[in-house]
Amino acid sequence: MALIHFEVRGLRNLTTASFSPSPSITLLFGPNGSGKTTVLEGVYLLGMARSFRTQQTRKLIQYGMTVATVFGRVDTGHAQYGLGVQKQNGDVTLIRVNGERQETASVLAGLLPLQLITPESHTLLKGEPRERRSYMDWGLFHVEHEFLDLWKRYRRYLEQRNAALRGRVHAGEMSHWEQGLADCGEALAAMRERYIQEISPLFAKIFTVLLEEEAPRLIYRRGWPKDHALIEVLERNRASERVSGYTMAGPHRADLRLVTAEGLDAADSFSRGQQKLAVCALRLAQMQYLQNVAGRRCTLLLDDLPAELDQRRRHLLMQSVASSGAQCLVTATDRNLLDLSPWNEAAVFHVEHGVVTEVV
């Protein structure tokens, strides 16, 4: 899969811009404030129907305009699809595939699997467990057909049990919600555990190439104590959770930790640059895995790659990206900061004052 054409209107400082990315690597370079991150934000909007910088639509829409629109053409290797996403102040997000209105963004994600690495990406290690759960779930969404349905059912049971804990649902129904929650929860946890086991060797290999040191282990925590069935824990916690009104055990509390050979958590012991590279290794491992098991290529958005990486790490990272086989869109303030030699079909664009121009 590859994004072969992209157009944007009314997104931040991009009044109108269109360009055709390379199926391999596309470099967007230009001065600060020129619109490079906005281009990546636009591509992200096309695959996810939301921004990675804000949840507020009005911040995305160009000052003085009422809508922001992105279009793209994706080549899956078997067929081409036209994708479109429109954001309008105070209104629903319009999603179209081949001109047909879509109700959910998951169809976009299926056609344009995206990975994003920004200067803030180290927060995957340091930030809330929610970020690491969505990391795991991105992988499962793309490789396990039942995942999305299972996850939705789990959320419904969780809401019902929480409502029952707060006395809003007849207490006699509690065991029904608990059983459903436990069944879906066990299945989800098993899927995540298997996924982490599968990507661990890929992660270790990429990490060792990038950092030239031993990789930390990926430790998956499923969200309730070992050696206990989820149903047992739910029943045991019922009385105390009536006070909090919230279910404290289950996959919605899962986490993923990176632990070094010395037993230290990478989030506390790694430098910022190391954390960033560890996150790159995590994301590249997912992309590699998706390619291995489903033969699907991802599009990797790499914003401001050089920030905080020394020249050698930049070189090693670019090599790893090239060998991952992903389509890559990368931004930098200076064209010469990145070595594009590992790729044969590089495309280069200059971005200035919201105008994207191909450089030959």
Ligand X SMILES: Nc1ncnc2c1ncn2[C@@H]1O[C@H](COP(=O)(O)OP(=O)(O)OP(=O)(O)O)[C@@H](O)[C@H]1O
Nearest-angstrom CA–CA distance, 209 and 71: 36
d(CA 302, CA 312): 17
Of 9, 12, 252, 313, the one binding ligand X by CB under 6 A: 12
Among 4, 5, 13, 96, indicate the residue that binds ligand X (CB under 6 A). Answer: 13
Q: How many residues bind ligand X (CB under 6 A)?
A: 16
Task: Answer yes or no: are the C-beta atoms of 309 and 317 closer than 8 Å.
Answer: yes
- Sheet containing strand 25-29, edge to edge, reads 114-117, 299-302, 327-332, 25-29, 347-352, 355-359
Greatest distance between any 2 Cα atoms in the chain: 70
Site for ligand X (CB under 6 A): which residue of 22, 24, 36, 203? 36
Helix (H) or strand (E) holding 299: strand 299-302
State the burial class of residue 324 (Cβ atoms within 10 Å of its Cβ: 0-12, 13-18, 19+): buried
Q: Which stretch binds ligand X (CB under 6 A): 27-35, 150-158, 161-169, 170-178?
A: 27-35
Which of Mg ion, ligand X, none does residue 93 bind to, with CB < 5 to 8 Å depending on kind?
A: none
Minimum distance, C-beta of residue 64 to ligand X, in the bound complex (Å): 8
Instruction: Write out the DSSP string of 210-251.
Output: HHSSPPPEEEEE-SS-TTS-HHHHHHHHHHHHHHHTS--SSG
Q: Does 247 participate in binding Mg ion (rule CB under 5 A)?
A: no
265: β partners: 259
Kindly state whether residue 32 participates in binding ligand X, applying the rule CB under 6 A. Answer: yes
The nearest distance, CB 330 to ligand X, in angstroms, is 12
By CB under 5 A, tell whether 121 contacts Mg ion: no
User: Which of residues 199 and 300 has its CB atom nearest to Mg ion in the complex?
Assistant: 300
Q: Are 201 and 172 in contact (CB under 8 A)?
A: no
Using the rule CB under 6 A, give the single segment among 33-41, 125-133, 150-158, 253-261 that binds ligand X. Answer: 33-41
What is the closest distance, in whole angstroms, from the C-beta atom of residue 46 to ligand X in the complex?
16
Return the structure tokens found at 268: 């506390």
* Residue 13, contacted partner among ligand X, Mg ion, none, CB below 5-8 A by kind: ligand X
Among ligand X, Mg ion, none, residue 33 binds (CB under 5-8 Å by kind): ligand X
Does 37 interact with Mg ion (rule: CB under 5 A)?
yes
List % helix, strand, coil for the chain (3-state, nearest 5).
45, 25, 30
* Residue selected from 22, 24, 26, 38 as contacting ligand X according to rule CB under 6 A: 38
Residue count at the site for Mg ion (CB under 5 A)?
Answer: 1
CB of 171 to Mg ion, least distance (A): 53
Residues lying near ligand X in the complex (CB under 6 A) are found at: 12-13, 30, 32-38, 59, 61-63, 304, 333
